[in-house]
Amino acid sequence: MLSGLHLLLTYQCTFECDHCFVWGSPWQSGVMTLENIQHILQQAQDVGTVKSIYFEGGEPFLYYAVMLAGVREAARRGLQVGIVSNSYWATSVQDALEWLRPLAGLVGDLSISSDLYHFDEKQSQLTENARMAAEQLGIPLGVLSVAQPEAACAAGSMGQLPAGESAVMYRGRAAEKLAARAGRQPWEQFTECPHEDLREPGRVHVDAFGNLHICQGISIGNILTTALAEICQAYDAETHPIMGPLLAGGPAELVRRYNLPHEASYADACHLCYEARRALRARFSDILMPDQMYSVPET
Protein backbone atom coordinates (compact mmCIF):
# COMPACT_ATOMS: atom_id res chain seq x y z
CA MET A 1 0.00 0.00 0.00
CA LEU A 2 1.44 3.34 -1.06
CA SER A 3 1.59 5.51 2.07
CA GLY A 4 4.38 8.01 1.38
CA LEU A 5 5.46 10.27 -1.46
CA HIS A 6 8.94 11.79 -1.40
CA LEU A 7 9.16 14.87 -3.60
CA LEU A 8 12.59 15.55 -5.07
CA LEU A 9 11.99 19.29 -5.25
CA THR A 10 15.19 19.72 -7.22
CA TYR A 11 18.28 17.76 -8.22
CA GLN A 12 20.28 20.90 -7.42
CA CYS A 13 22.24 21.06 -4.22
CA THR A 14 24.75 23.23 -2.40
CA PHE A 15 27.00 20.16 -2.07
CA GLU A 16 28.27 17.29 -4.22
CA CYS A 17 28.62 14.54 -1.60
CA ASP A 18 30.60 11.50 -2.73
CA HIS A 19 27.88 9.14 -1.49
CA CYS A 20 24.90 10.91 -3.09
CA PHE A 21 22.53 8.45 -4.79
CA VAL A 22 20.66 11.24 -6.59
CA TRP A 23 23.82 12.92 -7.90
CA GLY A 24 22.90 16.21 -6.14
CA SER A 25 25.06 19.06 -7.40
CA PRO A 26 25.06 22.83 -8.02
CA TRP A 27 25.36 21.92 -11.71
CA GLN A 28 22.23 19.75 -11.87
CA SER A 29 19.00 20.81 -13.57
CA GLY A 30 15.41 20.02 -12.69
CA VAL A 31 13.22 22.06 -10.31
CA MET A 32 9.60 21.32 -9.38
CA THR A 33 7.12 24.15 -9.86
CA LEU A 34 4.37 24.99 -7.42
CA GLU A 35 1.83 24.00 -10.06
CA ASN A 36 3.47 20.56 -10.27
CA ILE A 37 3.48 20.21 -6.49
CA GLN A 38 -0.22 21.01 -6.33
CA HIS A 39 -0.90 18.48 -9.07
CA ILE A 40 1.15 15.83 -7.27
CA LEU A 41 -0.58 16.48 -3.93
CA GLN A 42 -3.97 16.15 -5.61
CA GLN A 43 -2.84 12.86 -7.18
CA ALA A 44 -1.65 11.65 -3.80
CA GLN A 45 -5.05 12.37 -2.30
CA ASP A 46 -6.85 10.70 -5.19
CA VAL A 47 -4.98 7.45 -4.50
CA GLY A 48 -6.50 7.55 -1.02
CA THR A 49 -3.75 5.72 0.87
CA VAL A 50 -0.98 8.35 0.91
CA LYS A 51 -0.51 9.72 4.43
CA SER A 52 2.86 11.48 4.31
CA ILE A 53 4.74 13.82 2.01
CA TYR A 54 8.46 14.50 2.26
CA PHE A 55 10.22 17.41 0.62
CA GLU A 56 13.79 16.53 -0.27
CA GLY A 57 16.14 16.59 -3.25
CA GLY A 58 18.86 17.69 -3.92
CA GLU A 59 18.54 20.42 -1.35
CA PRO A 60 14.92 21.53 -0.87
CA PHE A 61 15.82 24.73 1.05
CA LEU A 62 17.38 26.08 -2.18
CA TYR A 63 13.81 26.71 -3.37
CA TYR A 64 12.54 27.86 0.00
CA ALA A 65 9.46 29.81 -1.10
CA VAL A 66 8.18 26.93 -3.22
CA MET A 67 9.02 24.37 -0.51
CA LEU A 68 7.15 26.45 2.08
CA ALA A 69 4.10 26.83 -0.14
CA GLY A 70 4.20 23.08 -0.81
CA VAL A 71 4.50 22.32 2.91
CA ARG A 72 1.52 24.57 3.66
CA GLU A 73 -0.56 22.98 0.93
CA ALA A 74 0.28 19.42 2.03
CA ALA A 75 -0.54 20.26 5.66
CA ARG A 76 -3.79 21.96 4.59
CA ARG A 77 -4.76 18.70 2.90
CA GLY A 78 -4.23 16.86 6.17
CA LEU A 79 -1.04 15.08 5.08
CA GLN A 80 1.91 14.52 7.45
CA VAL A 81 4.86 16.57 6.27
CA GLY A 82 8.59 15.90 6.49
CA ILE A 83 11.68 17.61 5.10
CA VAL A 84 15.18 16.23 4.53
CA SER A 85 17.92 18.87 4.38
CA ASN A 86 21.66 19.31 4.75
CA SER A 87 21.14 22.40 7.02
CA TYR A 88 23.41 24.66 4.92
CA TRP A 89 21.10 27.51 5.90
CA ALA A 90 21.56 27.20 9.69
CA THR A 91 24.40 29.73 9.88
CA SER A 92 23.56 30.58 13.49
CA VAL A 93 20.76 29.63 15.87
CA GLN A 94 19.18 33.03 15.34
CA ASP A 95 19.27 32.61 11.55
CA ALA A 96 18.00 29.04 11.75
CA LEU A 97 15.05 30.30 13.80
CA GLU A 98 14.11 32.62 10.94
CA TRP A 99 14.33 29.80 8.35
CA LEU A 100 12.35 27.39 10.48
CA ARG A 101 9.73 29.63 12.09
CA PRO A 102 7.29 29.50 9.12
CA LEU A 103 7.49 25.68 9.19
CA ALA A 104 6.57 25.34 12.87
CA GLY A 105 3.31 23.52 13.40
CA LEU A 106 3.35 22.21 9.83
CA VAL A 107 6.38 19.92 9.70
CA GLY A 108 6.27 16.76 11.82
CA ASP A 109 9.75 15.52 10.90
CA LEU A 110 12.76 17.65 10.00
CA SER A 111 15.55 15.24 9.07
CA ILE A 112 18.97 16.84 8.98
CA SER A 113 21.91 15.02 7.43
CA SER A 114 25.23 15.31 9.21
CA ASP A 115 28.19 13.04 8.58
CA LEU A 116 31.64 13.04 7.01
CA TYR A 117 30.17 13.10 3.48
CA HIS A 118 28.36 16.38 4.10
CA PHE A 119 30.86 18.07 6.42
CA ASP A 120 34.39 17.74 7.75
CA GLU A 121 33.06 16.72 11.16
CA LYS A 122 30.35 14.16 11.94
CA GLN A 123 28.10 16.58 13.84
CA SER A 124 28.47 19.90 12.10
CA GLN A 125 27.85 23.23 13.86
CA LEU A 126 25.15 23.94 11.26
CA THR A 127 23.28 20.84 12.35
CA GLU A 128 23.62 21.88 16.00
CA ASN A 129 22.21 25.32 15.15
CA ALA A 130 19.29 23.73 13.32
CA ARG A 131 18.70 21.36 16.23
CA MET A 132 18.58 24.17 18.79
CA ALA A 133 16.28 26.31 16.65
CA ALA A 134 13.95 23.38 15.93
CA GLU A 135 13.79 22.59 19.64
CA GLN A 136 12.78 26.15 20.47
CA LEU A 137 10.06 26.02 17.81
CA GLY A 138 8.80 22.58 18.75
CA ILE A 139 9.70 21.05 15.36
CA PRO A 140 10.67 17.38 15.76
CA LEU A 141 14.22 16.98 14.38
CA GLY A 142 16.22 13.85 13.66
CA VAL A 143 19.79 13.55 12.41
CA LEU A 144 20.64 11.20 9.53
CA SER A 145 24.25 9.96 9.41
CA VAL A 146 25.78 7.64 6.86
CA ALA A 147 28.89 5.69 7.85
CA GLN A 148 32.16 5.76 5.91
CA PRO A 149 32.84 2.71 3.68
CA GLU A 150 35.62 1.53 6.01
CA ALA A 151 33.25 1.54 9.02
CA ALA A 152 30.83 -0.71 7.16
CA CYS A 153 33.71 -3.06 6.23
CA ALA A 154 34.71 -3.24 9.89
CA ALA A 155 31.10 -3.81 10.92
CA GLY A 156 30.89 -6.64 8.42
CA SER A 157 33.71 -8.52 10.12
CA MET A 158 33.28 -7.42 13.75
CA GLY A 159 29.66 -6.54 14.28
CA GLN A 160 28.13 -3.12 14.36
CA LEU A 161 28.18 0.18 12.54
CA PRO A 162 28.95 3.19 14.75
CA ALA A 163 25.87 4.09 16.84
CA GLY A 164 23.29 6.11 14.92
CA GLU A 165 24.93 5.62 11.53
CA SER A 166 23.54 3.71 8.58
CA ALA A 167 25.46 2.00 5.80
CA VAL A 168 26.12 3.71 2.51
CA MET A 169 24.26 2.19 -0.44
CA TYR A 170 26.54 2.00 -3.45
CA ARG A 171 24.27 3.47 -6.08
CA GLY A 172 24.41 6.80 -7.91
CA ARG A 173 27.56 8.79 -7.23
CA ALA A 174 28.46 6.40 -4.40
CA ALA A 175 28.99 3.59 -6.94
CA GLU A 176 31.46 5.73 -8.84
CA LYS A 177 33.25 7.50 -5.97
CA LEU A 178 33.18 5.10 -3.03
CA ALA A 179 32.90 1.49 -4.18
CA ALA A 180 36.69 1.19 -4.43
CA ARG A 181 36.93 1.80 -0.65
CA ALA A 182 34.42 -0.94 0.20
CA GLY A 183 34.84 -4.66 0.82
CA ARG A 184 33.68 -6.89 -2.02
CA GLN A 185 31.55 -9.98 -2.42
CA PRO A 186 31.15 -12.29 -5.43
CA TRP A 187 28.44 -11.00 -7.79
CA GLU A 188 26.40 -14.23 -7.63
CA GLN A 189 25.70 -13.58 -3.94
CA PHE A 190 23.47 -10.57 -4.62
CA THR A 191 20.27 -12.51 -5.08
CA GLU A 192 17.78 -10.01 -3.71
CA CYS A 193 17.11 -6.30 -3.31
CA PRO A 194 17.67 -5.74 0.43
CA HIS A 195 16.18 -2.23 0.59
CA GLU A 196 13.00 -1.68 -1.40
CA ASP A 197 9.66 -3.47 -1.49
CA LEU A 198 9.61 -3.87 -5.26
CA ARG A 199 6.30 -5.69 -5.40
CA GLU A 200 4.26 -3.24 -3.32
CA PRO A 201 6.27 -0.13 -2.55
CA GLY A 202 5.21 1.74 0.58
CA ARG A 203 6.86 4.94 -0.54
CA VAL A 204 8.07 6.24 -3.87
CA HIS A 205 10.05 9.25 -5.02
CA VAL A 206 8.72 11.80 -7.52
CA ASP A 207 11.32 13.97 -9.22
CA ALA A 208 11.09 17.46 -10.69
CA PHE A 209 10.18 16.01 -14.11
CA GLY A 210 7.32 13.93 -12.69
CA ASN A 211 9.14 10.58 -12.84
CA LEU A 212 7.97 8.11 -10.21
CA HIS A 213 11.01 6.25 -8.87
CA ILE A 214 10.74 2.97 -6.99
CA CYS A 215 14.47 3.20 -6.44
CA GLN A 216 16.59 6.14 -7.63
CA GLY A 217 16.77 5.84 -11.43
CA ILE A 218 14.05 3.20 -11.90
CA SER A 219 10.92 5.02 -13.06
CA ILE A 220 7.54 3.32 -13.35
CA GLY A 221 5.71 6.25 -14.95
CA ASN A 222 5.25 9.99 -15.08
CA ILE A 223 2.83 11.53 -12.62
CA LEU A 224 2.54 14.73 -14.67
CA THR A 225 1.17 12.86 -17.69
CA THR A 226 -0.55 9.84 -16.10
CA ALA A 227 -2.65 9.73 -12.95
CA LEU A 228 -0.79 8.26 -9.95
CA ALA A 229 -3.68 5.87 -9.30
CA GLU A 230 -3.42 4.65 -12.91
CA ILE A 231 0.36 4.15 -12.68
CA CYS A 232 -0.10 2.16 -9.46
CA GLN A 233 -2.86 0.04 -10.98
CA ALA A 234 -0.91 -0.69 -14.17
CA TYR A 235 2.29 -1.57 -12.28
CA ASP A 236 2.95 -5.30 -12.36
CA ALA A 237 6.30 -6.03 -10.77
CA GLU A 238 6.50 -9.64 -12.01
CA THR A 239 6.29 -8.72 -15.69
CA HIS A 240 8.27 -5.49 -15.42
CA PRO A 241 11.55 -5.82 -17.40
CA ILE A 242 13.69 -4.56 -14.49
CA MET A 243 11.62 -5.42 -11.40
CA GLY A 244 10.75 -8.89 -12.70
CA PRO A 245 14.37 -10.13 -12.71
CA LEU A 246 15.14 -8.25 -9.46
CA LEU A 247 12.24 -10.01 -7.74
CA ALA A 248 13.16 -13.38 -9.23
CA GLY A 249 16.79 -13.33 -8.13
CA GLY A 250 18.06 -9.86 -7.28
CA PRO A 251 20.71 -7.91 -9.21
CA ALA A 252 22.49 -11.18 -10.06
CA GLU A 253 19.40 -12.28 -11.99
CA LEU A 254 19.30 -8.92 -13.81
CA VAL A 255 22.84 -9.66 -15.02
CA ARG A 256 21.96 -13.23 -16.05
CA ARG A 257 18.66 -12.36 -17.71
CA TYR A 258 20.25 -9.80 -20.01
CA ASN A 259 23.60 -11.55 -20.29
CA LEU A 260 25.49 -8.48 -19.10
CA PRO A 261 29.25 -8.22 -18.76
CA HIS A 262 30.21 -7.93 -15.09
CA GLU A 263 33.11 -7.87 -12.65
CA ALA A 264 33.85 -10.74 -10.27
CA SER A 265 32.74 -8.87 -7.16
CA TYR A 266 30.79 -5.83 -6.01
CA ALA A 267 30.47 -3.64 -2.91
CA ASP A 268 26.80 -4.45 -2.28
CA ALA A 269 23.56 -5.35 -4.07
CA CYS A 270 22.97 -1.70 -5.07
CA HIS A 271 26.39 -1.54 -6.68
CA LEU A 272 25.74 -4.55 -8.93
CA CYS A 273 22.20 -3.34 -9.65
CA TYR A 274 23.34 0.18 -10.52
CA GLU A 275 26.10 -1.05 -12.86
CA ALA A 276 23.71 -3.52 -14.52
CA ARG A 277 21.16 -0.74 -15.01
CA ARG A 278 23.79 1.56 -16.48
CA ALA A 279 24.51 -1.13 -19.06
CA LEU A 280 20.78 -1.45 -19.80
CA ARG A 281 19.94 2.24 -20.08
CA ALA A 282 19.91 2.45 -23.88
CA ARG A 283 17.58 -0.56 -24.06
CA PHE A 284 15.15 0.64 -21.37
CA SER A 285 15.49 4.38 -21.80
CA ASP A 286 11.92 5.08 -20.65
CA ILE A 287 12.50 3.25 -17.34
CA LEU A 288 16.16 3.78 -16.42
CA MET A 289 16.06 7.55 -16.29
CA PRO A 290 16.41 10.51 -16.11
CA ASP A 291 20.06 11.26 -16.95
CA GLN A 292 20.22 13.19 -13.65
CA MET A 293 20.04 9.90 -11.70
CA TYR A 294 23.05 8.50 -13.57
CA SER A 295 25.42 11.49 -13.70
CA VAL A 296 25.54 15.27 -13.68
CA PRO A 297 24.59 15.83 -17.34
CA GLU A 298 26.62 18.41 -19.27
CA THR A 299 24.48 21.43 -20.06
Ligand X SMILES: C[S@@+](CC[C@H](N)C(=O)[O-])C[C@H]1O[C@@H](n2cnc3c(N)ncnc32)[C@H](O)[C@@H]1O
Q: Which residues bind ligand SF4 (CB under 6 A)?
A: 13, 15-17, 20, 22, 24, 57-59, 86, 113, 118
Site size toward ligand X (CB under 6 A) is 20
At a CB cut-off of 8 Å and minimum separation 6, what does 76 contact? none
Instruction: Give which of ligand SF4, ligand X, none residue 190 binds (C-beta under 5 to 8 Å, depending on kind).
Output: none
Q: Write down the least CB distance from residue 29 to ligand X, Å.
A: 16
- By beta-carbon proximity to ligand SF4, the closer residue of 43 and 292 is 292
d(CA 146, CA 32): 27
Taking CB under 6 A as the criterion, the residue among 5, 20, 44, 90 binding ligand X is 20
The 10 Å Cβ neighbour count of residue 138 is: 8
> Does 155 contact ligand X by CB under 6 A?
no
- By beta-carbon proximity to ligand SF4, the closer residue of 24 and 149 is 24
> Does 113 contact ligand X by CB under 6 A?
yes
- By beta-carbon proximity to ligand SF4, the closer residue of 59 and 268 is 59
- Contact of 276 with 262, CB cutoff 8 Å: yes
CA distances to 44, 54, 172, 182, 205 from 8, in Å = 15, 8, 15, 28, 7
> Does 169 contact ligand X by CB under 6 A?
yes
Residue sitting closest to ligand SF4 (CB): 24
- By beta-carbon proximity to ligand SF4, the closer residue of 93 and 296 is 296
> Does 22 contact ligand X by CB under 6 A?
yes
> Does 59 contact ligand X by CB under 6 A?
yes
Residue type, 264: A
- By beta-carbon proximity to ligand SF4, the closer residue of 43 and 86 is 86
Taking CB under 6 A as the criterion, the residue among 36, 86, 124, 148 binding ligand X is 86
Q: Write down the least CB distance from residue 173 to ligand SF4, Å.
A: 8
Q: Which stretch binds ligand X (CB under 6 A): 42-50, 84-92, 134-142, 288-296?
A: 84-92
β-strands 265-266, 185-186 pairing:
antiparallel
Instruction: Give which of ligand X, ligand SF4, none residue 16 binds (C-beta under 5 to 8 Å, depending on kind).
Output: ligand SF4
Residues that bind ligand X (CB under 6 A): 13, 19-22, 24, 56-57, 59, 84-86, 113, 144, 146, 168-169, 171-172, 174
